[in-house]
Amino acid sequence: MNTEAILIRILEDVIGAKKVSAETRFLDIGGNSLNLVEVLKQLRAKTGVAPSPRLFFDRSRSTVATLSAEIDALRETSQAATVAAG
């Protein structure tokens, strides 16, 4: 499952939103600081990382596509650090 699909599923489950797409913004589907805690918890469990909570509230960077790209970048950095330390 790709990162975008993981994030979409989490947002649909946690917020109860329907028809979440790559261009959906966190705040536009009812996202708030309370449900963000659960979103971040589930992201960490499923991907091993989670982006900064601030990104979810940034209108220019809070689409599913942008957040997914950030998650992928964090995963690459995390994996590179693990290899370097290993």
User: Is CATH 1.10.260.40 the classification given to domain 3-85?
Assistant: no
pLDDT band at 86 (very low <50, low <70, confident <90, very high): low
pLDDT value at 79 more than 90: no
pLDDT, tens digit (0-9, with 9 covering 90-100), for 62-72 = 999 999 999 99
Which backbone phi and psi does 60 adopt, to 5 degrees?
-85, -15
What's residue 50's pLDDT? 92
pLDDT band at 13 (very low <50, low <70, confident <90, very high): very high
Q: Would you list the domain boundaries of the chain?
A: 3-85
Tokens of 20: 């979440």
Which backbone phi and psi does 54 adopt, to 5 degrees?
-60, -35
Region 55-83 average pLDDT? 89
Region 16-20 average pLDDT? 95
